[in-house]
Amino acid sequence: MVDSETLSTLETRLSDVVGEANISTSVSDMILNAHDAWPLSEARIRAGELLPTADIIVYPATTQEVAEVLVIANETGVPLTPIGGGAGTCGGTLPIYGGIQLDLKRMDRVLHIDHESLTVTAEAGIVGIELEEAVNRHGYTTGHTPTSLRASNLGGFIATRSGGSMSSLYGKIEDLTLGLEVVLPDGRVIECKALPRHSVGPDLKNLFIGSEGTLGVITRATMKLFPVPEKRSFRSMCFPDVHSGLGAIKEILQSGIFPSVVRLYDPNDTAMSVSVHFDVEEGDCMLMLAFDGLPDKVDLEERISADICLKHGAKDYGEGPSKRWWQHRYDMYYPTKFTTAGYSIGDTIDIVATYDKLEDVYHSMKAAREAHDAV
Amino acid sequence: MVDSETLSTLETRLSDVVGEANISTSVSDMILNAHDAWPLSEARIRAGELLPTADIIVYPATTQEVAEVLVIANETGVPLTPIGGGAGTCGGTLPIYGGIQLDLKRMDRVLHIDHESLTVTAEAGIVGIELEEAVNRHGYTTGHTPTSLRASNLGGFIATRSGGSMSSLYGKIEDLTLGLEVVLPDGRVIECKALPRHSVGPDLKNLFIGSEGTLGVITRATMKLFPVPEKRSFRSMCFPDVHSGLGAIKEILQSGIFPSVVRLYDPNDTAMSVSVHFDVEEGDCMLMLAFDGLPDKVDLEERISADICLKHGAKDYGEGPSKRWWQHRYDMYYPTKFTTAGYSIGDTIDIVATYDKLEDVYHSMKAAREAHDAV
């Protein structure tokens, strides 16, 4: 908490920068921005705890305003925490030190679509689904569709180094981000130019991708675009166990075939998510696949992938489960279904491992979870 | 130049670390390491200038030795310049401050091939072609084949952020590098773990990829491997101008087809490199394509790409020019043909641009070159 004199100074100075209508000290705004999708926040609320709040929220509209806010934070020695969509699951946007919360939601414009280079430049506060729909209208896709797409924003994708559900074909956010504009903590603005790549020293934008707001405020980004695929096909393959499913995935990807979607559900997940709508047996592991691109290429990749799955002992479920997942892929996150059950809390965590360790990691995670009665 | 007392101290202390046989103060070794493939060095030699040399060269065999050498450099306040293959074209390995040159050529071992994850871990001093041939023997390729492959080494690929001639399919060095071991300037050793990717903060290895030896000494790396493709086909398409060639390339890549080789030769290049062996007309621009992977996929991608080229006005030259380039792709660099002509000097430079600027960049570069009577 800042003292009342400092707060008064902040109100005056920040109003001068963004206008009086674009700062807030209201309790309801503070509470709204005091949690993201971090399950521990939910647990604390249920336990009757008050979450730490900011002293003042500022909603800038331009990069220049962000820069001036950072200068004020420095000059007054007040902590500052940036917040975008507030869809993160690790608490990265929470104002645990109080002070200023820099809310980027007003910076939500699509600035430029380059139809030659297939890139889009947008402000960091744009919500993912709005960016995706804006480029869809021109026949493009960003290729970045995390489950949180309706609640998260562009700056957050980059600040958290996020991966989407089609990253096996289109790439993760670090592959999709061509250029960045960042306001450094002292208010200086730097631009990492939107280039396909370069070899003029290290690629500085990678310092900010994944920096969770600690090294600067991402205000603008230029992202790759892809043509909306001429064809997208879905295929579902049901394996007798995780081992055979992973074996098939490894063979598909290592042979140079890149489906746009590759999701293997373990027996628990298959029972919870798939068995409601499709007839599966206990222990079954459903693999959801999708293929994007030119029709002939899609057909070929689907055929090769299906052959590999069958060789690894899968039963062919056609497009059903995979297509159903696709149609409901954003449902869980927002409006949230995570926390509706009174006595349970849902969490999500991404784990990465090379193939030599992947199955061990899976079994270890499962054992660790089960040791705490988690499903 | 360091003074004789310091040099004597260095000889003693560095010998203690790497053994007397693995330091050198001989003039011939100094001269050998005083230039890389930077054309300006060649120009200076021809002008009768002496190039700056190191005072002492040290050839460590282990990461621990590299770390101890860096500690000695710090303690004695002597400049240190790492050198790998010495194949760079920008002078990055030249000991312009004198002092110690840290030569990594003895650190040339393949340490581990992971047949599950398809990765190879090797020491930074291994020459590119030796690494490639070592993994070829197991049925793999690194996918990284710059023209300099016979003369450059793994650490240099990473330190210079290099791209190879098959990067359109397999990726550039920043895509291929999974893990790094780096000795920091103060002698501490850090490891960037060999993971497919992660989102635990920024990806630090990108600080060292492209750092040209300024932020640390890369001692070890874990790289992606790919199965040697079941099929590789070559196709050559001759365009009436650069514009139509670039148009075809853009359409191929943006449609989601990724040939392993995509090289468009402008009229000058086509006249110099292609017309000796194939019948082309003045102004022709030859596009060399190759396709790697499963046979059905290769055939499909070649067919789609050829159709796109023909649509953009190309004449089909079959596999000839492209295959010939492939067979001779390493010839120019080492043993070098750059500098054999008495009154000319060859240089090579990589330029990158998004499609909206690419053709302008090409014409501007060409005009700038021609203004200096360069071809």
| pLDDT mean over A352-356 | 95
Bridge-based pairing state of the strands B285-293 and B231-239: antiparallel
Within 8 A of A180 by CB-CB distance, chain B residues are none
| pLDDT mean over B153-179 | 97
pLDDT of residue A374: 75
Grade residue B373 by pLDDT with cuts at 50, 70 and 90: confident
State the virtual CA torsion across A176, A178, A183, A185 in degrees, nearest 10. 70
**What are B319's two structure tokens?**
């596999």
- CA dist B349 and B363 (Å) reads 15
- What secondary structure does DSSP assign to B121-151, as a single string? EEETTSBHHHHHHHHHTTTEE-S---TTTTT
Within 8 A of A198 by CB-CB distance, chain B residues are 161, 352
pLDDT of residue B349: 86
Q: What domains lie within chain A, and their CATH numbers?
A: 4-103 (3.30.43.10), 110-227 (3.30.465.10), 229-375 (3.30.70.3450)
**What are B287's two structure tokens?**
């596009």
- Among the partner residues A227, A292, A297, nearest to B300 by beta-carbon distance: A297
Kindly identify which residue of chain B lies nearest to residue A222, measuring between CA atoms.
B354
Query: Is pLDDT above 80 for A315?
Result: yes
Kindly identify which residue of chain B lies nearest to residue A247, measuring between CA atoms.
B116
- Whether B207 sits inside 8 A of A202 (CB atoms) is yes
Q: Is the Cβ–Cβ distance between B52 and B2 less than 8 Å?
A: no
Q: Each residue of A53-93: pLDDT tens digit? A: 999 999 999 999 999 999 999 999 999 999 999 999 899 99
- Sheet containing B261-264: which strands, arranged edge to edge? B261-264, B285-293, B231-239, B315-316
- Among the partner residues A163, A203, A256, nearest to B294 by beta-carbon distance: A256
Of the residues B197, B360, B361, the best mutation for testing chain A's interface (the one with the most A CB atoms within 10 Å of its CB) is B197
- Whether B227 sits inside 8 A of A197 (CB atoms) is no
- Whether A254 sits inside 8 A of B118 (CB atoms) is yes
- CA dist B31 and B46 (Å) reads 14
Which amino acid, residue A61? A
Q: Is the Cβ–Cβ distance between B141 and B112 less than 8 Å?
A: no
Which amino acid, residue B368? A
Grade residue A372 by pLDDT with cuts at 50, 70 and 90: confident
Of the residues B113, B167, B206, the best mutation for testing chain A's interface (the one with the most A CB atoms within 10 Å of its CB) is B206
- Whether B226 sits inside 8 A of A254 (CB atoms) is yes
Of the residues A90, A115, A117, A195, the best mutation for testing chain B's interface (the one with the most B CB atoms within 10 Å of its CB) is A117
Of the residues A250, A354, A355, the best mutation for testing chain B's interface (the one with the most B CB atoms within 10 Å of its CB) is A354
**What are A125's two structure tokens?**
């506060």
Q: Each residue of A270-292: pLDDT tens digit? A: 999 999 999 999 999 999 999 99
Within 8 A of A294 by CB-CB distance, chain B residues are 255-257, 304
**What are B337's two structure tokens?**
């043909």
- CA dist B113 and B107 (Å) reads 17
ipTM (interface pTM): 0.94
- Whether A114 sits inside 8 A of B301 (CB atoms) is no
Is some CB atom of chain B closer than 8 A to the CB atom of A348?
A: no
